[in-house]
Structure 1
Amino acid sequence: MISTYQRLKDNLEYLKLKKASESLDEVIDFITANELSFTEGLLRLTDVEMDHRKTNLIKAMVKVGAFPFIKEIKDFDFDFQPSVNKAQILEFESLGFIDKKENIVFLGPSGVGKTHLATAIGIASAKKRNATYFIKCHDLIMQLKKAKLENRLDDRLKHFNKYKLLIIDELGYLPIDKEDSKLFFQLIDRRYENKSTIITTNINFGEWDGIFGDPVIANAIVDRILHHAKVISISGKSYRLKDHLIKKESND
């Protein structure tokens, strides 16, 4: 005859409460040791399952975000990059800018930590279960261009517009021709005052004409990005140089 304990284990597994089933012995011991009521014991068992599912959901959201690496704000060396206001970055991490549908632009030369900070904020967003996605600007343009050729541009624009936070990395590293600039404008226009976007770039806004190949389109893009935006200008040494110096000092 199957014991009551085994039937409970079987029921939990049948209901796909795998973590609750795995933790049953531990929870029973805790209930007994602390003389908990039936309701308190059941609550603890379901809390174990809920915590497990939340953890898995967060991992899934981070994975879907397609981040280039897993780095958080705590991993950023603010002492090495004193031009960055730590308090302001921590405020971004609280994600209030997403509720306000504001944008963030990280502006500075290559290697100063723009992508690290953008990614860290993105990971914080994903952990709060906001639909978040990271993409290089060139890859974004190529996807929109391909979608246009295949007569599915509107669907692709809807896809990128669904993200509560979209991170567009390395804008300006490669030139964008006039027709492709129109595609980029359509995306920015859809997200304008509707969703938040983080952009990293090494080009000052006054020089964006040269990126997009058309001053009218460039001005329209800049206008929509900056209307509700915080611009973080980063100056200083490259992190890659820092790592190189550390290795050099270690070898000396």
Structure 2
Amino acid sequence: MTLQTNYQRLQDNLAYLKLKQCMLHLDETIELANTQSLSHIEWLLKLSDYEVDIKRQNVINHMVKISNFPHLKTLADFEFSFQPQINEMQIKDLASLGFMEQAENIVFLGSSGVGKTHLATSLGIESSRNRRSTYFIKCHDLIQNRKSAKDEGRLETRLKHYARYQLLIIDEIGYLPLQHDERVANAIVDRLLHHAHVISITGDSYRLRNHMQQKE
């Protein structure tokens, strides 16, 4: 009777502390402790690992969600065989995020539909999964947000907002005409290319291929 009471008290305590994973895995952990003769520390560590793992995964999922990615395509989804001129090992090396430690830029160059956004998003997802603050935004939206902030007298605050991210992904930066003089335009390009990995993609369009396949 006492054992059952203590067991129920333990369940109640776990519920009160909102340790749902500990509650779900309590019985199997107790059985494992008995069959493998685990010490008190070992089985408590095993039980707490379930809770820690799910909380870590929830943090990762939250960071991915708030990063504003247009889709959740990873490097595993990228068809390197369709773009053989891309150095797959180089991209996977960039996914280790060493470029962030070195404060380096990555610039993907190429026509529409060749996979630039996919690759950039994949690196961004990897950054978020490593709990690095990451944000994805289209160049047009960035310019409009900057303009609105300037009109409202909040430009400095808005710039600080973007500057706080460890990784800022700006998509379609070359698709819109920027109304700057040549000197300013050259300065922007120079800043982007400074300490940058420039990856040029000259292959065919995924979107065109998919469109043609749908028509067949």
TM-score higher than 0.5: yes
- The percent identity for this pair of structures is 57
In the TM superposition, residue 122 of structure 1 has moved relative to its aligned partner by 0.3
Aligned to 2:200, which of 230, 233, 237? 233
Amino acid at match of 1:10: D
Task: State the 4+ residue runs in structure 1 displaced beyond 4 angstroms.
Answer: none
Give, in whole Å, the separation in 2 of the partners of 1:218 and 1:18. 55
Instruction: Give, in whole Å, the separation in 2 of the partners of 1:19 and 1:218.
Output: 54
1: CA distance, partners of 2:44 / 2:68: 37
Question: TM-score under structure 1 normalisation?
Answer: 0.82
Counterpart position of 1:67: 69
- Name the amino acid aligned to 2:184: I
5+ residue gaps in structure 1? 178-212
Please state if 1:121 is matched with 2:123: yes
Partner SS state of residue 133, structure 1: strand
Structure 1 residues 84-163: aligned runs within 5 Å: 84-163=86-165
Aligned to 2:14: 12
Give 2:190's aligned residue. Answer: 223
What is the root-mean-square deviation in Å for CA atoms of aligned residues? 1.4
Distance 2:145 2:196 in 1: 25
Alignment-derived partner of residue 32 in structure 1: 34
Shift, 1:27, TM fit:
1.6
- Once residues 129 and 113 of structure 1 are traced to their aligned partners in structure 2, the CA distance between those partners, rounded to angstroms, is 25
- Residue pairs, 1:159-238, within 5 angstroms: 159-177=161-179, 213-238=180-205
d(CA) in 2 for partners of 1:146, 1:6: 58
* CA shift for structure 1 position 16: 2.5
Residue 44 of structure 1: SS of its match in structure 2?
A: helix
Aligned residues: 214
CA distance in 2, matches of 1:155, 1:235: 39
**Other-structure match for 1:206:** none
